Amino acid sequence: MPLTATSCRRYGVFGSTMIAPIVEPTLKCIRAFIMKKFTIRSLPFYILMSSAAMAQDAPQIQEITVIGVRDTHTVRTDDTLVAPPDTAQLLRRMPGANINKNGELTGIAQYRGMYGDRIKVSVNGAPISGAGPNSMDSPLHYAPVAILESLTINRGIAPVSAAQESIGGYVEAITYTGEFGTSSDFSFDGRTYFGAQSVNEGTVASGFFSLANRDHIFRTFVMQEQADDLDFGSGDIIPSEYERERFDLGYSFRGGDHEFSLDFARNNTKDAGTASLPMDILAIDSDLLRSKYQWSGADFNFTAEFSASDNEHWMTNYHLRRPPQDNMMTAGAMRYRRNWAVSESYGFKLKLEQLVDNGTWLYGLDRHTSSHRSTITNPNAGPFYISNFNDTDKDVLGAFIERGISLSDRTGLDAGVRINRISMDSELVSANLNPMGATSGMPFMINNLAGMLSNQFNGSDLDQTDNNVDWFARFSIEAGRNTTWYAGAARKTRSPSYQERYLWLPLESTGGLADGKTYVGNPDLDPEVAHELELGFDWESGSYNIYPRVFYKEVSDYIQGTPATNPVVNNFAMMMASMGMGQPNPLQFDNVDSTFYGFDVEADFKLNDRFTLRAVASIVRGERDDINDNLYRIAPDNIILALDYQGSNWVGTFESVNYADQNRVSATNVEKKTDGYSIFNLTARINLSTNIEIGLGIENLFDKEYEDHLAGYNRAFNPDIGLRDRMPGLGRNFYGRLMWYF
């Protein structure tokens, strides 16, 4: 049934209950059917191998017929008017995707219920290892909107060649790099971008400049952006200000069948508030280097990529938010905290694509190594320190092979296998939580407990190695009548993050979970193993297109916080909570079993030459299988409905963004429920000439007050928001941009 206003009202999408009345029984039926017919984790590996054998037995054909489906969704910033500086916000426009928002520059990608390290994110093909142990500089932090050319997400099962650990999906951000010319003469080209918004008086100015001919491109990029605290209608989010600068320098060469590029970027973030986290950003200084070589032969393509990064991060709990105040147990000055964190990483990827009569073979080898250090100090007490993470290393070496084949003129198969060897280790840790050298009292006891925990950690087996195997298979069948059916299956794995494995003291250094709970790690964690099925079809009739997908994923050894059982951990957390630092009842990262299932769809309907209707809807369920509980921070059911108008030299859009109630919350994480809401947006882009465009927009047109379920909880003193209350959605926002191409 087409997505019309009548059918949407019938399913309740404009009310707070949204589409739950029709969707919930459907999802339960789907899940029951799959569980009855299949045991997903026992799907035999011979499915993949027999598919490859069938491909070998099939007679080869001389003409390659590509049988494909819409397996990616791309947002191009030149064609999309956006106000926020955080590129991760663009994920809200994609089926199945969303964002865990901990700050204006601290968005964490979510896809079909998974987030954080489970979503592999690359910038221009390079993986990013942020310095912040709470993901303040999450990967998309390094691809600002003002430099972004496009953001692409793999819909559903990502090929094994896309990334090393893509258990939850794969996202790629591409920045502007310029284009080669058509002659030996050099030409000067570029793009300037100016933007402003009212909700935080934010501004951004950037310029991309290139000097190019048919063989060479010399390029540079500069950017500066800043904003004050955000407005949410009845108050301000304090602190939420930010300031960021960016400088890029690059070169590309093309000669015959060969192409080479080398790029350097310096991304410096200054003061930036993250009210959902225990600290705010004081500075993040990052140097990023990447290079790429391509050789395009008659029947092969070879690619070699190299990347490296050096990120240094400072954060505090006193320079942007109200500093800790005195209480009955301790002076506020003793609760001041400053955190210094560093990450260093490098990696490479080698790919050889072989073109054969009935498809392609793809062979690859890749490696990514990252190291993290983090030390917490108190500026008012020099001897105080916590070795939060001490040279925690993670090295992933992978090899993969993929086959794309036309089994007939109507059927296609993509399949692949990947093997990853993950090596992790940490140096010994220590702490001094008794800076005054007291021989009795609370600081003395807390320091003794910290010493016991460091001894337990240092005495455990910190050197861990995992050997993980991934595979995927995806069938496509052209069924006629403009319809292509799709069926996919996969086994994907992920080894623990350094926070999950090596967080030794009950702290909130959790990769941005932002649930307010303190955690400890577990060096003996097993890798997560997911088995997934996905079904769907593409129907493209010219004036009406729809791309629905239904998915089901079982995850063995899913890494989740569970109540800590170590009495030393619990006693330490209780004492710290009594002094106004942290919460009692800490969690420990542990292996559990879980299930994800749901449905997402994108569709468009061309009413006439001027008007087009668009819709993007996403539904996901995430559940614990070991206990009766939901998983934490799962996006509510949501749907975006938009009406586009194409004028002679301008484009306008009226958009409705609708989120359902989220009652399926995690008791383990003490997650709060949220009510559903609908907000309306209005945008217009006007071409003043062939190279000048002005964009204007209004977000939250009617200034509705609401709570964003994925925005975390307030951790800073704020007269307008209670401590540990859900962060509010933003108020009415007028914004605009000017782009000039030359």
Q: Is the pLDDT of residue 58 over 50?
A: no
> Tens of pLDDT along 549-582?
999 999 999 999 999 999 999 999 999 998 888 8
The DSSP secondary structure of 588-639, one letter per residue, reads EEEEEEEEEEEEEEEEEEE-SSSEEEEEEEEEEEEEESSSS-BPTTPPPPEE
Mean pLDDT of 272-281: 97
Preceding omega of 435 cis (within 30 degrees of 0): no
> Tens of pLDDT along 150-179?
999 999 999 999 999 999 999 999 999 999
> Tens of pLDDT along 73-86?
999 988 888 887 88
Mean pLDDT of 500-522: 97
Q: Are 323 and 144 in contact (CB under 8 A)?
A: no
Rg (the chain; Cα; Å): 26
Q: Is the pLDDT of residue 730 over 70?
A: yes
DSSP letter at 674 equals B
Q: What is the pTM of this model?
A: 0.91
Residue 484 CA: distances (Å) to CA of 203, 246, 450, 613? 45, 43, 60, 22
Q: Are 207 and 740 in contact (CB under 8 A)?
A: no
> Tens of pLDDT along 190-246?
999 999 999 999 999 999 999 999 999 999 999 999 999 999 988 999 999 999 999
Task: Decide yes or no: CATH 1.10.760.10 for domain 89-180+188-336+344-741.
Answer: no
Q: What's the pLDDT band for 330 if we cut at 50, 70, 90? A: confident
* pLDDT for res 582: 86
Mean pLDDT of 343-352: 98
> Tens of pLDDT along 701-726?
999 999 999 998 999 999 999 999 99
Q: What's the pLDDT band for 329 if we cut at 50, 70, 90? A: confident
* Angle value at C-alpha 374, between 368 and 375, nearest 5 degrees: 165
Cα 5 to Cα 13: distance, rounded to the nearest angstrom: 9
Question: Which uninterrupted H or E stretch holds 69?
Answer: none
Q: Are 684 and 649 in contact (CB under 8 A)?
A: no
* pLDDT for res 81: 87
Mean pLDDT of 389-406: 97
Which H, E and C letters describe 527-588, residue by residue?
Answer: CEEEEEEEEEEEEECCCEEEEEEEEEEEEEEEEEEEECCCHHHHHHHHHHHHCCCCCCCCEE
Residues 6+ apart with CB under 8 A from 554: 40, 41, 530, 531, 532, 593, 594, 595
Residues 6+ apart with CB under 8 A from 549: 95, 96, 155, 156, 486, 534, 535, 536, 599, 600, 601
* Residues of the chain above pLDDT 90, percent: 84
Q: What's the pLDDT band for 9 if we cut at 50, 70, 90? A: very low
Cα 427 to Cα 504: distance, rounded to the nearest angstrom: 12
> Tens of pLDDT along 140-158?
999 999 999 999 999 999 9
Cα 436 to Cα 334: distance, rounded to the nearest angstrom: 10
Q: Which residues of 696-720 are buried (b: 16+ CB within 10 A; e: fewer)?
A: ebbbbbeeeebbbbbbbbbbbebee
Q: What is the residue-averaged pLDDT of the chain?
A: 91
Cα 471 to Cα 607: distance, rounded to the nearest angstrom: 42
Q: Is the pLDDT of residue 50 over 70?
A: no
Cα 193 to Cα 115: distance, rounded to the nearest angstrom: 31
Residue 7 CA: distances (Å) to CA of 3, 19, 409, 544, 588? 6, 11, 37, 16, 46
φ, ψ at 379 (rounded to 5°): -65, -15
Q: Which of the two residues, 687 and 24, has the higher pLDDT score? A: 687
